[in-house]
Amino acid sequence: MHTSDHGATDWRDEKHDEVFGSTLTGLERRRESDPSFRLADAEGTLAHLYVQDGNDQGGRGELQDIVLGAMIAAHEHFIAEWKRELAAASSEQEQQCP
């Protein structure tokens, strides 16, 4: 069986997209179902993921690097969207106040 470099890139992209999507879905579901889940909780998890990303002395391997990168990207996206929602809601409240 012949595998091209393009095929090797495809599995990496597929894995990244899979993990990004499932992580983002999990975060969104948690936000909807857990009233105690706050923006600070998501930011704390992201901070932990950054530390984990930096702790690679033993070498995680390519797959784990992809998984961790996708989890970080999903958290960054989720947090940015939440902050945009908060800013929009704040702006809307300011416009309604006389």
pLDDT tens digits along 40-82? 999 999 999 999 998 877 788 999 999 999 999 999 999 999 9
Q: What is the pLDDT of residue 60?
A: 85
Model pLDDT, residue 53: 92
- Kindly list the domain boundaries of the chain, sorted by start residue: 7-96
| pLDDT (average), residues 14-29 | 98
Q: What residues contact 68, with CB distance under 8 A and at least 6 apart?
A: 49, 52, 53, 60
Q: Indicate yes or no: pTM above 0.85.
A: no
The beta-carbon contacts of 49-52 under 8 Å, at least 24 apart in sequence, are 49/75
Q: Are 16 and 70 in contact (CB under 8 A)?
A: yes
Q: How far apart are CA 75 and CA 81, in angstroms?
A: 10
Q: Comparing C-alpha atoms, which of 15, 23, 38 is closest to residue 74?
A: 23
